[in-house]
Amino acid sequence: MEVATTTTIWTDCLEIIKLNVDEQSFNTWFKPIVPVRNENDVLTIQVPSQFFYEWLEENYVPVLKKAVRQVLGENGRLEYSVVVDSGNQQNPPVMVNYPNGHGIKKNIQPLNGNGPSADYSPFAYKALDPRTVNSRLNPNYLFDNFVEGDCNRLARSAGVAVAKKPGTTSFNPLMLYGGVGVGKTHLIQAIGNEIKKNMPDKVVLYVDQNDFTNQFLNALQNLKMQEFQNFYLQVDLLILDDVQFLAGREKTQEIFFNIFNQLHQSGKQIIMTSDCPPRDLKGFQERLLSRFKWGLTADLQEPDFETKLAIINNKMQSDGIEIPKEVAEYLAYSVDTNLRDMEGVLNSLLFHATLLKRNIDLDLAKEVLKNIIKEIQSDVSVDYIQKTVADFFKVGTEQMKGKVKKREIVIPRQTAMYFCKRYTQLTLALIGENFGGRDHSTVIHALESVEDMMKVDSNFKNSVDELTKKFKSRMSA
Ligand code: ADP
Ligand code: MG
């Protein structure tokens, strides 16, 4: 009986919480919670780890409080039962109880300190063997095939210096930034490959932000935080690509901050890239940004004509293909988006030449280019969404970021946010950022309003459907 009521109470709370957080957060942070008991208006919920508990306290106290009060009444309170050791067949799990919203976490023993959680980690400390650890490097990205030009000279020579003496130059961290396809990934992987070749006893690790975030969430859900950190702390060269994607991810940043500090202190080399200079990174903790500037920050620019030409010739030569001078020049001149697109064009040319046995001439180059350029332009970006939605509702694009609260402006603005959530990878906070610096709760509100309006206003629903068609056709163009 008791169990059933506790469960229903929690189910009711979940219903309310669901309305207040996005789906991913809901699945990550609320689904794993187990209600344990309800006595005297105190609902106790069990969370899988201390880290989990801290995260909830830091990010979701208002949501939790609201839910508990609505379900249990004004006196309703919440208590956590935190699993600090998941136990095994012989030993029962160890739990610690904390009341909610008391800022109590400062008194909690660190997981690896003394106290009840001292033997928290059920995972033995595993030393990494540099010869067998998977560095996740692409062996094709080397200094040898990285063409030097004015656009990348500083970054490249910093990279060479770091590859010679990782961790001991003042270039730590080495932070490379620049737009899409300027060669950041190629260059930092070249550094990694060089170090692996010359110093086989060093543990080299390349991760992109996706790997890092996923490993982190995975560790969190499976109580392997300690193992996760131990792993990273044994790395001699840590390469983290595209850090801008950590924007707004507070806890991931915090863990990265810890790892960064410890590695840096013990003289390990850190290399990062981002799509803009550190000072322009939004959604980052200040202390982390200031760390990024400790070492050397160098930019890579769009390559000039000569460099592009050299890159084209270099790539075709290494694949054993002759490419007429006029074709190389035509491509260097015409592909003005970025080098990643250039790579697509070159690969496509290779494909035609080798498998379809066609001659590489200007006609073929033009044909290939036409197809690729169409793809390049079919991206659905925030700018594109804002402009398309503004045009559709016949309001100015600048209104998307403006302050006007009139209904005829607010609706297009909210609709554009809604499409950004659907069609871009941006976090809620970053969507808000792109709409004149609004915060993530404003974006959540916008998403809810749009969904509500679609239910009650069929005209509006038609507009959304029509816009959806536009975006879809752009994506598949
Ligand atoms: P980013 O990480 O800056 O977006 P990438 O490193 O992925 O760019 O580069 C895109 C493509 O262009 C890759 O295939 C890379 O090998 C090639 N590329 C970029 N810069 C150079 C260069 N200087 N020399 C040779 N290839 C390059
Ligand atoms: Mg890259």
pLDDT digits (tens, 9 = 90+) for 76-129: 888 887 765 555 555 455 555 666 654 333 223 333 333 333 233 333 345 678
Per CATH, which fold does 305-372 belong to?
A: Helicase, Ruva Protein; domain 3 (1.10.8)
Which tokens hold the place of 351?
A: 């494909």
Burial class of 56 by CB neighbour count within 10 A (0 to 12, 13 to 18, 19+): buried
DSSP 8-class letter at 328: H
User: Looking at the CA of 300, which ligand is closest?
Assistant: 1
The CATH code for residues 153-299 is: 3.40.50.300
206 alpha carbon, closest ligand = 2
CATH class for domain 2-99?
alpha beta
pLDDT of res. 284: 92
Q: Which residue has the tokens 């302050």?
A: 403
Q: Please name the helix (run of DSSP H) or strand (run of DSSP E) that holds residue 272, with its range, or none.
A: strand 269-274
Tell me which of 141, 244, 339 to substitute to probe ligand 1's pocket, judged by most ligand atoms within 8 Å of the beta carbon. 339
Quote the ligand 1 centre to 209 CA distance (angstroms).
Answer: 18
Q: Centre a 10 Å sphere on the Cβ of residue 66 and count the other Cβ atoms it contains.
A: 16
CA of 282 to the centre of ligand 2 (A): 19
- Would the CA dihedral through 210, 291, 152, 134 be positive or negative? negative
Residue by residue, pLDDT tens for the chain (477 residues) are: 455 588 999 999 999 999 988 888 888 889 889 898 888 888 888 887 766 777 787 778 888 988 998 999 888 888 887 765 555 555 455 555 666 654 333 223 333 333 333 233 333 345 678 888 889 999 999 999 999 999 999 999 999 999 999 999 889 999 999 998 999 999 999 999 999 999 999 999 999 878 888 888 888 888 888 889 889 999 999 999 999 988 888 888 989 999 999 999 999 999 999 999 998 898 899 989 999 888 999 999 989 889 999 999 998 888 888 889 989 988 888 887 788 888 888 888 888 887 778 888 988 888 888 776 655 454 678 888 999 999 999 999 999 999 999 999 999 999 999 998 888 766 777 788 889 989 888 998 999 999 999 989 999 999 999 999 988 887 765
**Which ligand is in closest contact with the Cα of 314?**
1
Nearest residue (by CA) to ligand 1, atom 18, is 183
Is there an atom of ligand 1 within 6 Å of 302 CB?
Answer: no
From-to residues of CATH 1.10.1750.10 in the chain: 382-476
For residue 180 and ligand 1, the question of a CB distance below 6 A is answered with: yes
Q: Which ranges in the chain are annotated with CATH 3.30.300.180?
A: 2-99
Check pocket membership of 159 for ligand 1, CB cut-off 6 A.
no
Q: Decide: pTM greater than 0.75.
A: no
Q: What is the pLDDT of residue 433?
A: 84
Q: Are 273 and 184 in contact (CB under 8 A)?
A: yes
Domain covering 382-476, topology: Chromosomal Replication Initiator Protein Dnaa; Chain: A; (1.10.1750)
* Ligand 1 proximity of 203 Cβ (cutoff 6 Å): no
Intervals of CATH 1.10.8.60 along the chain:
305-372
269 pocket-lining for ligand 1 (C-beta < 6 Å) = no
